[in-house]
Structure 1
Amino acid sequence: MDPLSQVISFLELRNYRVGGFEAGGDWSIRFDPFKGVKCYAVTSGACWLAVEGAGEPVLFQQGDYLLLPHGSAFRVASDPALPPEDWKRHFLGVREGALVKLNDGGGVTVLGGHFQLAGPQAEMLIGMLPPIVHLQSKTDRENLRWAFDRMRQEMVDAKPGGVLIIQQLATMIFVQALRLYLDDSKGVGWLFALSDKHVGAAITAIHREPARRWTVAALALEVGMSRSGFAARFGQLVGDGPIEYLTRWRMLLAGRSLSRGEPVGAIARSLGYESESAFRTAYKRVMGSTPRHHARLAAVG
């Protein structure tokens, strides 16, 4: 499994809610802070989006897609100058997968999903993303249009099994939106580094064999670079050195195993540590708590 698929699978991605709305005339809605990620598409018309702490409102037009990865409160409106209504007035109690109409609709249609992400891996995936991920190129539209068109049809038809189909489509849209964002953007972090031929190959090797006694020299040889050139490029693209990244990935794997109730000794050995004490020290340094504390919290939760 490739690194992005691995991390997303670790997130235990869940569809908290899927739905949409059609709005006409003058309108403005404020949504509260939320946990997880929201993914939307404007399938007709246009509207303004303002995310708290993210600067000026942004205009989204037909065919645009967006992710809101940090859970900040936001407003959606026909005019950003309009005073907003609370979302509960229109959306509270609406059935899953419904298409809500504001002012009888007719102006703009917005479809989307709200995902909850579980575990410390969530920060590893979304911590480096901006407050608004805006996808608007022609390629983006072609790749996502079919899924959103099908989602809207399922909402309108309301046939048996429709909610499950909508949820699966929303999950696919979330992953595809991340992929498109990586293709179109530059940044620092493992997520962006995946598209680099050499550093991406090194990250894949680490994910494939996390227990191997990797060194910087061994990873450089794996991807066909000099040790110094590889170390410099990895640090430039990822923001951490190769061994720091390896340790962090091991600890994320360990956290998942601890949540499943696996013994600390077995986890340490499976990740290449010769002693429990070395593993415990690394875990506390990276994760900020002891393995025993993590296991205890998982058992209570």
Structure 2
Amino acid sequence: MDVLSDVVAVTRTGRPRSAHVRWHAPWGQEFAPVPGAAGFQVVLQGSCWLTRPAEEPVRLGQGDVVFLAHGSGHTLADSPESLAAPAACDPDDHELYGAYTSARVDRSGDGGPVTVVLCGAYELDPARTHPLLLTLPDLIHLPADPDRHPELCSAMTLLAAELETPRLGADAAVPALLDTLLLYILRIWFREQRDREDVTGWAAALNDPPVTAALHAIHQDPAAPWTVAKLAAEAGLSRAPFARRFAALVGQPPLGYLTWWRMTTAARLLRTTDAPLRTIATQVGYTSEFAFANAFKRTHGNPPGRYRRGN
């Protein structure tokens, strides 16, 4: 597994939600803040405005994608001056949030211009949120560009078709397409940071070949007996310069990140499998079940067995 694949596989929990919504002007809809979630809006037809408190309105055209990495509250409307319907108190009771797979919502208006939006949300596990996601800006806006983002456009088209006309297999296709859409959004955003002079943190780390090589080595084989020297060899650097470079970009030392990733992977295995503790310990690089249990308790506050029973 590479870093971005692991971020989606480990951090996301539950089933992603999505809806295909058709609005007729004049219209407006508030979306409440949802801590521990990430959401997106894709304009399939027409145009609209996205507004957020204390921020300038953003005009969205056909094919534009916005990703809200931290579940920020926002409003979509045909005009910044349009009145918006309030957000629901319980997102599960609201058709735009509770809808899934075959969700189609038609907001009849006064016969004005039509805007069609594909909206969706990913539920994240705060205890396992990857630091890569924590460093993303509140809003990522990817303007329509089929020539530069053909894969993203294809994923949007396929997802919209599955939601607009539900068919056999939609329950399997939609979650897979949502994960694909998320991966493409992240891939494009990190790639576009490459030429910026002020880029820092994970955006810089994933565009730095030596650090990326070490990260991929950790993610591909977290059970390997990694040392700073071995990871430096993967990066093609000597030990000390590598350790400084890794810590500066990732935000923690190489072995600190390795331990965090091993414990995050172990937590996922405890939650999603019935594998014995000794098997999980081996999978995350511990030859001793006792040593694994101690390391897990230091990270998660409970020993593995209690953590598993609690989840």
TM-score (norm: length of structure 2): 0.80
Deviation at 1:161, TM superposition (A): 4.6
The answer to whether structure 1 residue 50 and structure 2 residue 51 are counterparts is yes
Aligned-residue CA RMSD in angstroms? Answer: 3.1
Alignment match, 1:100: 106
Counterpart-to-counterpart distance in 2, 1:134 and 1:65:
6
Gap runs ≥5 in structure 2: 194-198
Matches for 1:148-159 after TM superposition, within 5 Å: 148-159=156-167
Confirm or deny: 8 A CA contact 2:16 2:178 kept in the other structure: no
Deviation at 1:265, TM superposition (A): 4.3
Check 1:136–1:187 CA distance in 2 against 1; reply closer, same or farther (3 A cut): farther
Which residue, out of 244, 257, 265, partners 1:232? 244
The secondary structure found in structure 2 opposite 1:43 is: strand
Which residue, out of 129, 137, 143, partners 1:136? 143
Q: How many residue pairs were aligned?
A: 296
Deviation at 1:197, TM superposition (A): 1.2
What percentage of aligned pairs have identical amino acids? Answer: 34
The amino acid across from 1:45 in the alignment is: G
Matches for 1:116-195 after TM superposition, within 5 Å: 116-118=123-125, 120-136=127-143, 138=145, 139=147, 141-161=149-169, 164-185=172-193, 186-189=199-202, 193-195=205-207
Confirm or deny: 8 A CA contact 2:64 2:141 kept in the other structure: yes
Counterpart-to-counterpart distance in 2, 1:238 and 1:8:
18
Counterpart-to-counterpart distance in 2, 1:297 and 1:5:
27
Which residue, out of 285, 299, 311, partners 1:272? 285
Confirm or deny: 8 A CA contact 1:23 1:105 kept in the other structure: no
Gap runs ≥5 in structure 1: none
Deviation at 1:98, TM superposition (A): 0.8
Confirm or deny: 8 A CA contact 1:22 1:106 kept in the other structure: no
Deviation at 1:154, TM superposition (A): 4.1
Confirm or deny: 8 A CA contact 2:19 2:118 kept in the other structure: yes
Which has the larger displacement, 152-161 or 129-138?
Answer: 152-161
Deviation at 1:77, TM superposition (A): 1.6
Which residue, out of 196, 204, 207, partners 2:208? 196
Alignment match, 1:287: 300
Counterpart-to-counterpart distance in 2, 1:293 and 1:274:
21
The secondary structure found in structure 2 opposite 1:85 is: coil
Counterpart-to-counterpart distance in 2, 1:154 and 1:105:
26
Alignment match, 1:242: 254
Alignment match, 1:21: 21
Deviation at 1:279, TM superposition (A): 3.0
TM-score (norm: length of structure 1): 0.83
The answer to whether structure 1 residue 210 and structure 2 residue 210 are counterparts is no
Confirm or deny: 8 A CA contact 1:15 1:114 kept in the other structure: no
The amino acid across from 2:264 in the alignment is: L
The secondary structure found in structure 2 opposite 1:199 is: helix
Deviation at 1:251, TM superposition (A): 0.7
Check 1:183–1:153 CA distance in 2 against 1; reply closer, same or farther (3 A cut): same
